[in-house]
Amino acid sequence: MSTRALISIEDADKKCRSIYVHHDGYPSGAGRTLIDHYTTLESAEPLLALGSLSALGEHIDSNPGEGHSPDSVCIAYHRDRGEAFRPATVWANAEEMRSKASDRFWAEYVYLFRDGKWYVNTTYRPNEWRLVTDVLKERNNG
pLDDT for the residue numbered 117: 98
- pTM, full prediction: 0.93
pLDDT for the residue numbered 126: 79
Q: Give the integer Cα–Cα distance in Å for 82 and 62.
A: 17
pLDDT in tens, 39-54: 999 999 999 999 999 9
pLDDT for the residue numbered 4: 97
* H helices present in the chain, as ranges: 32-37, 41-49, 77-81, 94-105, 132-138
In contact, 110 and 96? CB cutoff 8 Å: no
Residues of the chain short of pLDDT 50, as ranges, are none
